[in-house]
Amino acid sequence: MFKKYIYFVISIFIVTILVVLQTTLSNIFWLSSVDLPISLSLILKTYFSDLNGMNFGGQVPLVALVAAGYLIAYSVVELFLIWVDVKKPYAYALASGAALLAIVLLMPLAFYNLDLIAGARTAIGKSILVLCGILSGYYYGSKLEKME
């Protein structure tokens, strides 16, 4: 049972790291498009600064937002799997993708129509973030399936 919680926390960290990476890279690509010089040092420094800032520098830490969304989504999947026989990796991947989709679509409604996650400002960005959620959910579901 303890391993289940560890895998839950790992899946949250996976998606948080990927969301911050996608946000940082989208900002770096924009800077590059306006002919600003970009170096590997700048990318790494910006990434770790964003990782810190998005989790510890604001009012709502990204990791807490993701954890709340995943807690709801994974609880629904637990109930869903009682009645429907679906492979756990697919069920949790769908649930975590839905949780990320809800976060990126509903967060602007709470913050005066502003996308606080810079990587979620475009449809492609939102799609990549949802894909990040799907990947972490698949990880979680595959670990749970191996536990059985």
Q: How many domains does the chain have?
A: 1
What is the residue range of 110's domain? 2-147
Q: Read off the pTM.
A: 0.88
Long-range CB contacts (< 8 A, 24+ apart) of 52-61? Answer: 54/19, 54/20, 54/23, 54/117, 55/16, 55/20, 58/116, 60/116
Question: pLDDT (tens digit, 0 to 9) for every residue of the chain, 148 residues total?
Answer: 788 999 999 999 999 999 999 989 988 988 888 888 888 999 999 999 989 988 887 777 889 989 999 999 999 999 999 999 899 999 999 999 999 999 888 877 766 776 667 677 788 888 999 999 999 999 999 999 887 7
